[in-house]
Amino acid sequence: MQAPLLNLIVIRASNPPELAEFYGNMGFEFQSERHGTGPEHLSSHVGGSVFEIYPRTPASADTTAVRLGFIVDSIARVLQRLGSHADIVSAPRISEWGTRCVLRDPEGHKVELLEA
């Protein structure tokens, strides 16, 4: 049996445009979408996967416990683009998988960057 492929990640934010700007510094490009009668949200389509940022509401689940991981061309370039918005949890260091760095996004999600 073949393992399933990840095709969708959804996180919630109190300020979706600010969060989209943060992830935009990693290369994500977001557009506004709405499916049926659901809420307007921001969506980025990358390599067969969809990364969506939905507005946080009192009824929605908190997603800040979710840890995200992305392979990037250059951690240094991402950190430079983020500037003072880079809340570094774990500074870049070499690991068995490549150079690795962990950040916290403006909503509190931990984000692992890997430069393979």
Summarised one tens digit per residue, pLDDT across range 76-97 is 999 999 998 899 999 999 999 9
pTM of structure: 0.91
CB-CB neighbours of 21 under 10 Å: 15
Percentage of residues of the chain with pLDDT beyond 70: 100
Those residues with Cβ within 8 angstroms of residue 26's Cβ, 6 or more apart along the chain or in another chain: 70, 72, 78, 81, 113
Place of tokens 């992305």: 70
Any idea which fold 8-115 has?
2,3-Dihydroxybiphenyl 1,2-Dioxygenase; domain 1 (3.10.180)
End-to-end CA distance of the chain: 28
pLDDT at 99 over 90: yes
* Alpha-carbon span 28 to 33, nearest angstrom: 15
Are the C-beta atoms of 90 and 102 separated by less than 8 Å? yes
Tell me the pLDDT tens digit for each residue of 9-41.
999 999 999 999 999 999 999 999 999 999 999
- 8-13 β-sheet, strand order: 8-13, 49-55, 41-46, 31-33
The arithmetic mean of pLDDT across residues 86-114, rounded, is: 96
Task: Give pLDDT, residue 34.
Answer: 95
